[in-house]
Amino acid sequence: MFSSSKPGIFITGTDTGAGKTVVAAGLALALRARGIKVGVMKPVATDCQGVPNRLVSLDAAFLMEAAENEFPALISPSRFRNALSPHVASIVEKKDIDLKKIYKAYQELHKHYDFVIVEGIGGLLVPLTKDYFVSNLIREFRLPVVIVSRAGLGTINHTLLTVDAAVIRGFDIRGIIFNRIPAVNYSIAEVTNPKVIHDLSGVPILGGLPEIEGLNVESCRFGKLREIFQERIQIDKILAGTPAAV
pLDDT tens readout for residues 20-44: 999 999 999 999 999 999 999 999 9
Phi first, then psi: what are they for 142, rounded to 5°?
Answer: 55, 45
Residue 216: which CATH number?
3.40.50.300
Query: Which range marks the domain in which residue 104 is found?
Result: 19-238
Residue 5 has pLDDT above 80, yes or no: no
Residue 3 has pLDDT above 60, yes or no: no
Residue 142 has pLDDT above 80, yes or no: yes
- For the ranges 47-51, 133-137, 145-149, 204-208, the lowest mean pLDDT is seen at 47-51
> Is position 6 within any domain?
no
**Nearest C-alpha neighbor of 122 from the set 209, 45, 208, 183:** 45
> Is position 143 within any domain?
yes
> Is position 5 within any domain?
no
Number of domains into which the chain is organized: 1
Residue 162 has pLDDT above 70, yes or no: yes
> Is position 113 within any domain?
yes
d(CA 181, CA 152): 8
Q: What is the mean pLDDT of residues 106-130?
A: 96
Which pLDDT score is estimated for 243? Answer: 61
User: Is the pLDDT higher at 74 or at 3?
Assistant: 74
- For the ranges 156-160, 181-185, 237-241, the lowest mean pLDDT is seen at 181-185
> Is position 209 within any domain?
yes
> Is position 10 within any domain?
no
Respond yes or no: is residue 237 known to be catalytic: no
Proportion of the chain above pLDDT 70, given as a percent: 96
> Is position 210 within any domain?
yes
> Is position 246 within any domain?
no
Q: What is the mean pLDDT of the chain?
A: 94
Q: Which of 6, 37, 42, 94 is catalytic?
A: 42
Which pLDDT score is estimated for 246? Answer: 46
